[in-house]
């Protein structure tokens, strides 16, 4: 078992670059996921739409038109965004995990494992920066409101979303 899964289909850095922070959630866009899975974006979207009951709002949500415009401006017009006319779907970590039940190819399953590992690694890095969080709070107190937006963005990157967990198994 030691040799199983040791070769990576996708470079870890490629996955990490695809994880974005939108609305306080770490997400991946449908086009990036489709590329990683080796399918066309429209195939991925079609599979999701056939299984919408598996993707509640905390698993997957579309960008608003305004968010889409901002995102396109950040990536520039020469990127893969040029031909797209509809806002992309955003998948949270749970939504990405659910994709493995919708896209059943061996590649999709292996890529999903790598993506889950990247999300876990990102969360570990962010949660280990307690000292950085404290220094940020001190700096925020020291500087005026013109930096408030910057401080808020950094805080969102540092903070781990809290989620209520339910016990697994039977309960009395």
User: What confidence tier does 57 reach under pLDDT thresholds 50, 70, 90?
Assistant: very high
User: Is the pLDDT at 16 greater than 70, yes or no?
Assistant: yes
**What does the chain come to in residues?**
172
User: What confidence tier does 79 reach under pLDDT thresholds 50, 70, 90?
Assistant: very low
Give the count of beta carbons closer than 10 Å to the beta carbon of residue 37. 23
User: Is the pLDDT at 163 greater than 90, yes or no?
Assistant: no
How high is the pLDDT of residue 58?
93
% helix, strand, coil for the chain, step of 5:
55, 10, 35
CATH number of 12-128: 3.10.260
- What is the per-residue pLDDT across 27-49, written as a single tens digit (0 to 9) for each? 999 999 999 988 899 999 999 99
**157 or 109, greater pLDDT:** 109
How high is the pLDDT of residue 44?
93
CA separation for the pair 91, 81 (Å, rounded): 18
Listed in order, the ranges of the chain carrying CATH 3.10.260 are 12-128
Question: What is the model's pTM?
Answer: 0.64
């Amino acid at each position: 078992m030691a040799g199983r899964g040791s070769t990576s289909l996708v470079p870890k850095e490629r996955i990490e670059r695809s994880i974005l922070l939108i609305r306080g959630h770490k997400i991946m866009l449908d086009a990036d996921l489709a590329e990683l899975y080796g399918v066309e974006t429209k195939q991925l979207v079609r599979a999701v739409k056939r299984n919408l009951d598996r993707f509640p709002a905390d698993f997957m949500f579309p960008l608003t038109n305004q968010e889409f415009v901002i995102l396109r401006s950040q990536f520039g017009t020469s990127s893969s965004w040029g031909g797209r006319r509809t806002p992309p779907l955003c998948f949270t970590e749970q939504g990405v995990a659910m994709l493995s039940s919708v896209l059943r190819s061996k590649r999709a399953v292996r890529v999903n494992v790598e993506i889950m590992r990247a999300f876990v690694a990102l969360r570990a890095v962010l949660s280990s920066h307690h000292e950085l969080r404290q220094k940020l709070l001190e700096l925020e107190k020291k500087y005026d409101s013109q930096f408030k937006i910057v401080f808020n963005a950094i805080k969102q990157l540092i903070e781990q979303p809290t989620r209520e967990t339910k016990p697994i198994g039977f309960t009395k």
